[in-house]
């Protein structure tokens, strides 16, 4: 009942996928294992002020890096996904390629996140 994935967009910008079920998350993650495409996972929480602060930058990066998949996971909604990656602080951004973690950025580090996406996208 209801959609398992919602998308957040500002005008015609590229999508940031919000994942709301472990089934859907597992499907996306399994797909990423066979893809050369970089996936940026944004572990966030509704109550997290820093997460809200960096959210516009994440949307901008999704536009700039249209060749990268951006996924948003609320740690309160999908605690098992957060536990699988040992996420303890929000926001945490995990860059995954071929199913393996390539980089982890914890906190509001917009410039560092941008550099790491640039570094791992190809």
Q: Which residue from 41, 54, 118 is spatially nearest to 81, judged by alpha carbons?
A: 41
Active site residue 48: yes
Q: Which of 51, 81, 96, 113 is catalytic?
A: 51
d(C-alpha 122, C-alpha 120), whole Å:
6
Active site residue 110: no
Phi, psi of 23 (to 5 degrees): -60, -50
Q: Which of 48, 62, 82, 116 is catalytic?
A: 48
CB atoms within 10 A of CB 53: 12
Beta bridge partners of residue 72, listed in sequence order: 18, 42
Indicate the SS3 state at residue 9.
coil
- Which residues form the catalytic set? 48, 51
């Amino acid at each position: 009942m209801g959609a398992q994935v919602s998308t957040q967009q500002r005008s015609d910008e590229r999508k940031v996928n919000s994942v709301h079920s472990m089934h859907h998350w597992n499907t996306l993650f399994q797909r990423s294992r066979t893809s050369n495409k970089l996936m940026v996972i944004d572990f966030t929480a509704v109550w997290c002020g820093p997460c809200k602060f960096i959210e516009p930058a994440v949307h901008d990066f999704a536009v700039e890096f249209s060749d990268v998949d951006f996924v948003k996971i609320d740690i309160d909604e999908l605690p098992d996904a957060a536990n699988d990656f040992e996420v303890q602080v929000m926001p945490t951004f995990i860059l995954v390629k071929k199913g393996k973690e390539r980089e982890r950025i914890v906190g509001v580090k917009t410039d560092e996140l941008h550099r790491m996406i640039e570094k791992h996208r190809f």
